[in-house]
Amino acid sequence: MEIARLEKRVEELAKPIHRVRIDGVFFPQDLFDIQSGLFSQWEETFSYMKTRCELAENLTKAAYLGEIKAVGEKALIHFLEILRLDARGPQTFLDTAPFLLLHVHRDDDAFDFMRHWMKMHPINDDKITDTMPRYFESKEGDWMYPREKNCRYRDMFEDCPNVSDCEAHLSFLVALLIIKCRIVATYDATYRSIDIAFATSAGKRIQAVQCAVTDMLIDRRLFNIDSQRHQVEHLLNAIHRNNPTMLPAILNPAPLLTGYLPRNRVRGDPSEVVSILFDCGRCLLRVPGAQEMLEKRFGKSPSYDLGRRWGLNDFMSSFM
């Protein structure tokens, strides 16, 4: 099995990295301990990081295709560890990590993860340097991002005024949409359940306590449902404006997955959607009401323009 082979290879490649000779240092050094955050800058770590990234990607595919939460959690361990070892992280990993967190129902952590990176926008050497002490003090398995309980109810663009919805990564916008749709769906389902319960003959006899029961089940101090619905609408508009292929492709992925696309991933282009679609499609459509919401906007099986084909920019960038 490919995953088992990669796991064994990662273990083998890790061994010499625990004892690296560094000029001017008498004893061999463990780069896992002393170079967290800067790990990928060492030539000795290249093969290890490449193989571990491959392992993480294979586990992610297995988690999504097999719909196994335990495999998703295992993939997430590798994703987060790679991002701890390499503070800049592969961009594809930054895009996928929120969806893996959502796959294992860690919505607050997904929000915290995205908020951390959005507050860092635009990423530069000075901002990375400021975060280094946290990485140097970390150990394997540490969560590297500021945590806030119930942060998923917050408005990301109020928390990150430095980033507009036009500048945010498309993957982050879609992950935020899933979080907000889950909040709205949970609220609506809870209200429906209460209404059904109190509509019964037994429920009618205790309708005086319906409001108290509602307050017990829905903590209005945490969020304003009208604000959450507004955020869903805002995200839908932002996603469709930034990339008009994304939302229709969630409902009807076949044209995108079978069409001819540029080899490079281009912002605003259908090529940007392919990997995000793999991460988010089922996750969003399984939120009660999400499919109906999209179908109301785009129809049950919407068509969309696959846009540009292989052109001059792609040709030139292939040589860069």
pLDDT digits (tens, 9 = 90+) for 223-273: 799 999 999 999 999 999 999 999 999 999 998 888 756 667 788 888 899
At 292 the three-state DSSP class reads helix
Q: What is the pLDDT of residue 171?
A: 96
How far, in whole angstroms, is CA 253 from its chain's centroid?
19
Q: What is the pLDDT of residue 311?
A: 39
Mean pLDDT of 110-123: 93
Q: What is the pLDDT of residue 312?
A: 35
The model's confidence at residue 313, banded by pLDDT at 50, 70 and 90, is very low
Q: Is the pLDDT reported for residue 26 higher than 90?
A: no
Tokens of 41: 């800058």
Look up residue 306 and give its DSSP letter. -
Q: What is the pLDDT of residue 234?
A: 97
Mean pLDDT of 190-215: 56
DSSP assignments along 130-171, one per residue = HHHHHHHT--TT---S---TTGGGS-HHHH-TTS-TTTS-HH
| Distance (Å) of CA 65 to CA 54, 59, 60, 69, 118 | 17, 10, 9, 11, 29
The model's confidence at residue 6, banded by pLDDT at 50, 70 and 90, is very high
The model's confidence at residue 315, banded by pLDDT at 50, 70 and 90, is very low
Tell me the β-bridge partners of 29: 20
Average pLDDT, the chain: 86
When mean pLDDT is compared across 81-85, 104-108, 305-309, the lowest value belongs to 305-309
Of 35, 72, 42, the C-alpha closest to 56 is 72
Q: What is the pLDDT of residue 201?
A: 57
Instruction: Summarize pLDDT for 34-51 with one digit per residue, the tens.
Output: 999 999 989 999 999 999
Q: Is the pLDDT reported for residue 117 higher than 80?
A: yes
Q: Is the bond preceding residue 122 a cis peptide, omega within 30 degrees?
A: yes
When mean pLDDT is compared across 61-75, 260-274, 284-298, the lowest value belongs to 260-274
Q: Taking the model in full, what pTM does it have?
A: 0.86
Instruction: Summarize pLDDT for 136-195 with one digit per residue, the tens.
Output: 999 999 999 999 999 999 999 999 999 999 999 999 999 999 999 999 999 888 766 655
- Annotated domain spans of the chain: 2-158, 170-313
